A and B are shown apart, each in its own frame.
Chain A
Amino acid sequence: MQGMLSPYIDGRLSPLEREKIESHIEGCEACRWELESLEATVNLLQRVAMASPPRSFALAEVAPKRRPAAFGTLRVATAVAVLVLAFLFLGDALHLFEGGLIGERLAQQVTPMPGEVLDMGGAPPEGEGYAWPLRQLELALLGVVVVLGGATAILWQRRRRGGEKALKG
């Protein structure tokens, strides 16, 4: 009987079950008290006032931040890679690394680790006998620039399209 009182309060019993409860309660003081006290508890809970949210939970400030951050980092990384690559090309073209101060210093820095130089280069350098694998470096950097630049361009495109969609809303 007790398990039926709560659904009775919510009107979730069949007419037959309702009738059974109502006729039982007429003669049973304990069950009548049980029902009344449960009803009072439910009424009390229904009086619990809704608290006002302390702030808005809109996501406007959270979500859009992520893309510009990735976009900005990629853009800077691409710019740095392009600058380094330009420096290497320029140095190569002007034969800056073959002799003189830069060449000697680089050679000194690199010679203590010949194993590593060979590992990085794979095949022996095809160039004009640099002490370090300039060509491979240039090619690797070129690859980095293409990948970074591509990713930046894709992000930029998406951002533009996203912006257009938001405007159309």
Chain B
Amino acid sequence: MCPMEEDELIQGTKQGDLDCFNRLVERYQREVYNLCLRMLGNAPAAEDATQDAFLSAFRGIGKFRGGSFRAWLFRIAANACRDQLRLLRRRPATSLDSLPLELEFEQRAPSPEDHALRQELGEEIKRALAGLPPDQRLAVILRDIEGLDYEEIAQATASSLGTVKSRLSRGRARLRDHLGQYRELFL
């Protein structure tokens, strides 16, 4: 049987125990997949990036030297996304994603009209994210969608706190400007 504590699972993985690693995969696959999905805006590419990330994490677990495991994993996932972005750029026809971006509101779609508007807003958020420079997009996704704190984002992006702060600031302002026409929906 595998232990349940994250530290012990990491130790087990370092000794080559795949079962321990797969416990970590179960724990983080949702977050990693969503990071890739929002970074790439393409479901099949996100699937590939997620699998690549976990494979790289298993092979490189010896290089993990403490700190936030989640941030370490996200850093590997961000690198996997960078590789996938390069591939997508070479095949631009495949970069369209049919998977809708859904929003969670307290009231569940009061009217069909509102429902349609929310769907439209979801598509617009996807477009706005895609329009951000990758560094700003990554910072915004990690902070506002995945809920990491500044220190974890700094670790996941190998940058300073000051850089995190300015990327977030510029990224959010740019998103706001892009979404301006839908202001009545969320302001």
Interface residue ranges, B against A (CB under 8 Å): 1-2, 16-19, 21-22, 25-26, 29-34, 37-38, 43, 47, 50-51, 54-55, 58, 99, 101-105, 121-122, 125, 140, 143-145, 147, 150, 165-166, 168-169, 172-173, 175-176, 179-180, 183, 186-187
Contacts and interface: CB of A to CB of B under 8 A. Distances in A.
A47 B103 contact: yes
Interface in A1-39: 2-3, 5-7, 10, 12, 36-38
Contacts of B51: 57
Interface stretch (A59-67, A99-107, A112-120, A145-153): A59-67
Interface in A42-73: 42-60, 62-64
B25 to A, nearest CB: 5
B173 A49 contact: no
Given A53-B30, A57-B51, A64-B18, A38 B144 contact: no
A169 interface: yes
A48 B165 contact: no
Contacts of A109: none
Nearest to B57: A59
B102 to A, nearest CB: 4
